[in-house]
Chains A and B, each alone.
Chain A
Amino acid sequence: ELKVEQNPLFLSMQEGKNYTIYCNYSTTSDRLYWYRQDPGKSLESLFVLLSNGAVKQEGRLMASLDTKARLSTLHITAAVHDLSATYFCAVDGGGSNYKLTFGKGTLLTVNP
């Protein structure tokens, strides 16, 4: 059974600081997805990482994938309040049902 672990689950940051969210998974996969969820809202796709060594950047967020280590990171640079949200990583386990296994999410709070 594919397991996806995120850490930390709760992250309180000051504006202007840098931090990294980690996503570990238990089985071979070369496809990983990051989503953002604002309070009371649905999930929004942030990044799609489809190969080992993939790196994607959007604004102050950068995601990377190391399939050999079964690890993805979401790096936050110079955090701003607008980044406060819950971030989920999700991994596909292969197969024809096209299911994703989600981590529990990281609740990020950026304080002034």
Chain B
Amino acid sequence: SQTIHQWPATLVQPVGSPLSLECTVEGTSNPNLYWYRQAAGRGLQLLFYSVGIGQISSEVPQNLSASRPQDRQFILSSKKLLLSDSGFYLCAWSRGTQYEQYFGPGTRLTVT
């Protein structure tokens, strides 16, 4: 069976500090990977998606970046956090030829 992990689970960071969130998937190969942010207003915002190693597509211009150094690893980064980066960050995966997405447990980020 497939599982998806995210860490850390919670994070409190000062404004201007760097960020690195990690997502890994087990039990499948060549998944599509996605990063979402959910702010206090509940809606999901797609930030990045990847259909393969080193292939990253950005949905929203911002101070965040994503990388996929390995097939089942997806990393969300920032060099300098803003207050507006606070939120619940969700990683998801889907099988290469299907659309249903499976979500990880999420990382709650608070920027102070």
Interface residues of A (CB under 8 A from B): 31, 33, 35, 40-45, 48, 86, 88, 90, 92, 96-100, 102, 104-105, 107
User: What are 5 A-B contacts defined by CB distance under 8 Å?
Assistant: A98-B32, A98-B96, A98-B98, A98-B99, A100-B101
Q: Check A97/B42 contact, CB under 8 A, given A43-B90, A92-B99.
A: no
Prevailing SS type, chain A contact patch: strand
Interchain CB contact under 8 A, A45 and B43 = no
Interchain CB contact under 8 A, B104 and A97 = no
Option from B90, B99, B105 in Cβ contact (under 8 Å) with A33: B99
A residues in contact with B94, CB < 8 Å: 98
Interchain CB contact under 8 A, B102 and A105 = no
Q: Tell me the smallest distance from the CB of B66 to a CB of chain A, in Å.
A: 14
Interchain CB contact under 8 A, B99 and A100 = yes
Contact flags B80-103 to A (C-beta < 8 A → 1, else 0): 000000000010101011111111
Interchain CB contact under 8 A, A42 and B43 = no
A residues in contact with B34, CB < 8 Å: 99
CA distance A35 to B98 in the complex (A): 16
- Between B42, B96, B108, the greatest number of chain A beta carbons within 10 A of the residue's beta carbon is seen for B42
Interchain CB contact under 8 A, A42 and B106 = yes
B residues in contact with A104, CB < 8 Å: 42-43
Q: Tell me the smallest distance from the CB of B12 to a CB of chain A, in Å.
A: 16
Q: Choose the segment among B14-22, B44-52, B71-79 that binds chain A (4+ C-beta atoms closer than 8 Å).
A: B44-52
A residues in contact with B98, CB < 8 Å: 98
Nearest opposing residue in chain B for A105, CB measure: B42
Q: Check A99/B100 contact, CB under 8 A, given A86-B42, A104-B43, A107-B42.
A: no
Q: Check A97/B43 contact, CB under 8 A, given A33-B100, A43-B90, A43-B103.
A: no
CA distance A31 to B101 in the complex (A): 12
Nearest opposing residue in chain B for A94, CB measure: B99
Query: In this assembly, does B63 line the interface, its C-beta being within 8 Å of a C-beta of chain A?
Result: no
Query: In this assembly, does B70 line the interface, its C-beta being within 8 Å of a C-beta of chain A?
Result: no
